[in-house]
Structure 1
Amino acid sequence: MSSGVQYLLFEEPTGYALFEVALQPETIGSRLKEVQDSATDLAKFGKFVKLVSFAPFKGAAHALENANDVAEGTVNEHLKNLLELNLPKRSKKKKIVLGVSDLKLASGIKESMKGIECDTSEVVQDLLRGIRLHGTKLLKQLQEGDIERAQLGLGHAYSRSKVQFSVQKNDNHIIQAIALLDQLDKDVNTFSMRVREWYSWHFPELFKIVSDNYTYSKLILFIKDKTSLNESSLHDLAALVNDDAGIAQSIVDAARVSMGQDISEQDMSNVVTFAQKAVSLADYRKQLHGYLVEKMNTVAPNLSELIGEVVGARLISHAGSLTNLSKYPASTVQILGAEKALFRALKTKGNTPKYGLIYHSSYIGKAAQKNKGRISRFLANKCSIASRIDSFTDTPTTKFGEVLKKQVEERLNFYETGAPPTKNSDAMKAALGATQDLMDE
């Protein structure tokens, strides 16, 4: 712009200030160095700008409302009135150049107020930086420390409001829980293998009888030294192996003829301690799974009903939030989690993947090999619908999930027998009717 910036909008915690640029050098290039050199000196910087008007906020709530509007690039009535009352009249031939620090707000002003051009160049940022530095002196209505106190209060209020109204605040717990659950699965498996290898030096036959890692670790804590087992131990052993007397007897018999070596009390103490850790970790994994199920049924009940809590949680985690997942088209949901395979296929011009995370759904496993791609596409479509309902509904319910689940089962049956499935419009009407009845109750 040859004429350069004419006015500056300064947003600060106590209100909006409008400044006029007093000096207008011929070119921005010559002006930039001059502004930068004088920014720290109030006597020099005061020659560049002159206060036109200051519009203070009415209170903390009003300040927070305006801070949110600035962040969204919205021009509210308070700001609009300040600009309308204090800027000169504009026309098609004569436009006002207003310096603004925020790009979103600059776009909002340009769209909502005709005749105003917004400048966010480096020169404008330097001018606003100087105003921020000398704010207390330039805004004579304010006393020393007013801006700092307002900054602190508004900063805390703005942060609290962002946390409170964040669209990700509920599903963030799901994202963390499923990530921890996956990590625990790996850790429990690793620890159990180590326990088995360590204890097998003493009682190698035990794992051939009981292959379940959790039960195996519980048995170690009960048996400890294999020589302690006898007929009187059968009842307690049976309680640890689902009351199976045959397995309990096999353990006692194997202990009598075991080829394992004897180990010292110190070694056994370490084995038992490690087994306790493995059992404790497995118990916590069960507890965390229960928490995840409960959380998913609260945050995404329809998605949970349709595809299961764990697979649904993985979809939400991979998308980043339930809102992000709801914005994805069904084609993206279908291959979510298979991005590497997709890009590799595109690069080599091979076959693109038919499914990603939804492959772990039981529906894909039930389908015949030739129908896996078709059912994954149909399931992704229903998952997309369920996530949108969960994300944007005001009354959480599982009715839509139940209907969508029935549709997927009918589609599987259609592939096998040719029986016509329910039309989507009829299914949605049934779900809406069930939801309405639930609300009426």
Structure 2
Amino acid sequence: MSMYLLYESSSGYGLFEAHGLDEIGQNTEAVRSSVSDLSRFGRVVQLTAFHPSESALDALNQINAVSEGYMSDELRSFLELNLPKVKEGKKPKFSLGVSEPKIGSCIFEATKIPCQSNEFVHELLRGVRQHFDRFIKDLKPGDLEKAQLGLAHSYSRAKVKFNVNRVDNMVIQAIFLLDTLDKDINSFAMRVREWYSWHFPELVKIVNDNYLYARVSKMIEDKSKLSEEHIPMLTEVLGDEDKAREVVEAGKASMGQDLSPLDLINVQTFAQRVMDLADYRKKLYDYLVAKMSDIAPNLAALIGDMVGARLISHAGSLTNLAKCPSSTLQILGAEKALFRALKTRGNTPKYGLIFHSSFMGRASAKNKGRIARYLANKCSIASRIDCFADSSTTAFGEKLREQVEERLEFYDKGVAPRKNVDVMKEVMENLEKKDEGEVKAVEGSEKKKKKEKRKAEEKDEEVEEEEEKSKKKKKKSKVVEEEVTTDNGNSKKKKKKKTKSQDVE
């Protein structure tokens, strides 16, 4: 039974025939030892046919089809032209070795050509890859390397371009960085408090906020220099004049020890760093909110930007979150508790990351599990709309949020909520009306533009007609003037002739 090998290169498809496989005995070790020697490997494997790629774009399309396990029309025609024909009802006397099992199964389904992919075939293809430039005689030295480099660049660009996680990754990195900044700012602010408290211990009780404490310590510097002149500046920072006066009075009667100028410089520098980190944290939060409004507007409108970003981050991407059922989404973030409960046969957790939603805090203790299940259901719907919808809108997320509000009222007061089908129909009708209004507005603006163009054209025509009329009038006046001048000249000539005849007489 003969074997053919299909090799997909950057230059095109190559079909090789393997001879003398019985002598090798299909031993991978024997093949591995003979691959490096071209004289031995060339006796076993020989080139049958080669189909070059027409262009770089064609090579990219072919390699994409192979990587996705899809047989292109070019590959099918190439195999049917160069391989023996498979007769119906008879077992073929050859097989085709391929590198990927997916493409092999696709070839077998389409052409009934038996394919195999194992270690023995992989070793043979490794030898083909190593000596491919010597099998193809028309290739110049360096051509294969250039083709491989160009195809690798275009293939990687296409993969990055069509990567569904490329935008979600920004949200994932931002939420991770936000959590890290929160921990760092908290620990650094505590360090500033401890450090500056040696100099001004009374300030800790007056200013509770970490960021304000860093700003006040940076402004005060040496407590002994505090005076009534500092009250307006402290009032701007603290927002309360009474607190500012309290800080000044506490500074005058403080029991803290004095610090050297060098120690004060270090404290002020570190406080400035904490302030810079806090300012950057605010900017990063604004960036995350903007990204969530672009990536998952409905999920953000339903459950909030931070919780929605944490769900996307924990799932890995918005697509993965959309694929999760609501029961899985409900306990995302509580995997340890879940497996511990399954191991000990205890009660499984009712909620994970969605516990940080404001709805969970508003629900009573006995209804937390029920509202968590309902909220997870709505979050899965919102994530699927965000992932697979053509246009981004917050209309669905706002209506889903209203449904959760109604469910909370139902648990507390017994008011019957609306059905999800009715709510979704209402959203779709509103969106259709908006689209129709936009279309009408566009059509109205186009009609206005057309009318304005017509008016402008009419005005231009009128101006041109007036100009032509004025030109014609000018021409007529010129002609009349010329006729008048010619008549005057003729009369003068006649008078001169009469005077000459009288002189002769």
TM-score (norm 1): 0.96
Which deviates more from structure 2 when the two are superposed, residues 31-40 or residues 54-63?
Answer: 31-40
Superposed displacement of residue 367, structure 1: 0.4
Q: Is the 1:8–1:21 contact (alpha carbons within 8 Å) kept by the matching residues of 2?
A: yes
**Aligned partners of 2:278 and 2:339: how far apart in 1?**
37
Query: 3-state DSSP class of the match of 2:22?
Result: coil
Aligned twin of 2:167: 170
Aligned twin of 1:105: 103
Summarize deviations over 1:317-337 as a string: whole Å, max 9, x none. Answer: 111111111110011110001
Amino acid at match of 2:220: I
Is it true that 1:58 corresponds to 2:84 in the alignment? no
**Aligned partners of 2:168 and 2:324: how far apart in 1?**
16
**Aligned partners of 1:111 and 1:80: how far apart in 2?**
12
Match of 1:392 among 388, 394, 399: 388
Q: Is the 1:334–1:354 contact (alpha carbons within 8 Å) kept by the matching residues of 2?
A: yes
Summarize deviations over 1:184-205 as a string: whole Å, max 9, x none. Answer: 0000000000000111111111
Summarize deviations over 1:159-195 as a string: whole Å, max 9, x none. Answer: 1111111001111111000000000000000000000
Aligned twin of 1:211: 208
Which deviates more from structure 2 when the two are superposed, residues 245-254 or residues 431-440?
Answer: 431-440
Q: Is the 2:24–2:31 contact (alpha carbons within 8 Å) kept by the matching residues of 1?
A: no
Instruction: Report 1:216-255 matches (<5 A).
Output: 216-242=213-239, 244-255=240-251
**Aligned partners of 1:264 and 1:385: how far apart in 2?**
62
Q: 1:92 to 1:247 in 2, by over 3 A?
A: farther
Aligned twin of 1:437: 433
Is it true that 1:75 corresponds to 2:79 in the alignment? no
Is it true that 1:276 corresponds to 2:272 in the alignment? yes
Aligned twin of 1:137: 134
Which deviates more from structure 2 when the two are superposed, residues 383-392 or residues 244-253?
Answer: 244-253
Aligned twin of 2:18: 21
Match of 1:356 among 352, 356, 361: 352
Amino acid at match of 2:108: K
**Aligned partners of 1:253 and 1:73: how far apart in 2?**
78
Is it true that 1:312 corresponds to 2:308 in the alignment? yes
The alignment-based identity, stated in percent, is 56
- Which of the pair has the greater relative contact order for Cα pairs under 8 Å at 6+ separation? 1
Larger Rg: 2
Structure showing the higher helix proportion among its residues: 2
Aligned twin of 1:289: 285
Amino acid at match of 1:406: E
Superposed displacement of residue 78, structure 1: 1.1
Summarize deviations over 1:382-433 as a string: whole Å, max 9, x none. Answer: 1111111111111011111111111111111111011111110011112222
**Aligned partners of 2:328 and 2:221: how far apart in 1?**
52
Amino acid at match of 2:172: I
Which deviates more from structure 2 when the two are superposed, residues 227-236 or residues 415-424?
Answer: 227-236
Amino acid at match of 2:144: I
Query: 3-state DSSP class of the match of 1:52?
Result: strand
Summarize deviations over 1:94-144 as a string: whole Å, max 9, x none. Answer: 234110112322232233332x22211111111111111111121224222
**Aligned partners of 1:26 and 1:48: how far apart in 2?**
10
Query: 3-state DSSP class of the match of 1:25?
Result: helix
Q: Is the 1:28–1:123 contact (alpha carbons within 8 Å) kept by the matching residues of 2?
A: no
Superposed displacement of residue 437, structure 1: 3.3
Amino acid at match of 1:209: I
Query: 3-state DSSP class of the match of 1:358?
Result: helix
Aligned twin of 2:339: 343
Q: Is the 2:24–2:30 contact (alpha carbons within 8 Å) kept by the matching residues of 1?
A: no
RMSD: 1.4
Q: Is the 1:397–1:435 contact (alpha carbons within 8 Å) kept by the matching residues of 2?
A: no
Q: Is the 2:168–2:317 contact (alpha carbons within 8 Å) kept by the matching residues of 1?
A: yes
Aligned twin of 1:302: 298
**Aligned partners of 2:353 and 2:25: how far apart in 1?**
55
**Aligned partners of 1:103 and 1:437: how far apart in 2?**
51
**Aligned partners of 1:429 and 1:359: how far apart in 2?**
29
Superposed displacement of residue 11, structure 1: 0.4
Match of 2:322 among 323, 326, 334: 326
Amino acid at match of 1:176: Q
**Aligned partners of 2:5 and 2:372: how far apart in 1?**
56
**Aligned partners of 2:282 and 2:214: how far apart in 1?**
15
Query: 3-state DSSP class of the match of 2:36?
Result: coil
Query: 3-state DSSP class of the match of 1:54?
Result: strand
**Aligned partners of 2:263 and 2:33: how far apart in 1?**
74
Aligned twin of 1:266: 262
Q: Is the 1:300–1:387 contact (alpha carbons within 8 Å) kept by the matching residues of 2?
A: yes
Q: Is the 1:223–1:229 contact (alpha carbons within 8 Å) kept by the matching residues of 2?
A: yes
Superposed displacement of residue 28, structure 1: 4.2
Q: Is the 1:14–1:56 contact (alpha carbons within 8 Å) kept by the matching residues of 2?
A: yes
Aligned twin of 2:81: 85
Query: 3-state DSSP class of the match of 1:6?
Result: strand
Q: Is the 1:238–1:245 contact (alpha carbons within 8 Å) kept by the matching residues of 2?
A: yes
Q: Is the 2:70–2:106 contact (alpha carbons within 8 Å) kept by the matching residues of 1?
A: yes
Structure 2 segments unaligned to the other structure (5+ residues): 439-505
Query: 3-state DSSP class of the match of 1:347?
Result: helix
**Aligned partners of 1:333 and 1:55: how far apart in 2?**
50
**Aligned partners of 1:185 and 1:437: how far apart in 2?**
44
User: How many residues get paired?
Assistant: 435
Q: 1:28 to 1:389 in 2, by over 3 A?
A: farther
Stretches (4+) displaced over 4 A:
26-29
Is it true that 1:426 corresponds to 2:422 in the alignment? yes
Query: 3-state DSSP class of the match of 2:255?
Result: coil
**Aligned partners of 1:109 and 1:26: how far apart in 2?**
28
Amino acid at match of 1:112: A
Which deviates more from structure 2 when the two are superposed, residues 407-416 or residues 251-260?
Answer: 251-260
Superposed displacement of residue 27, structure 1: 7.4
Summarize deviations over 1:361-391 as a string: whole Å, max 9, x none. Answer: 1011110011111111111111111111111
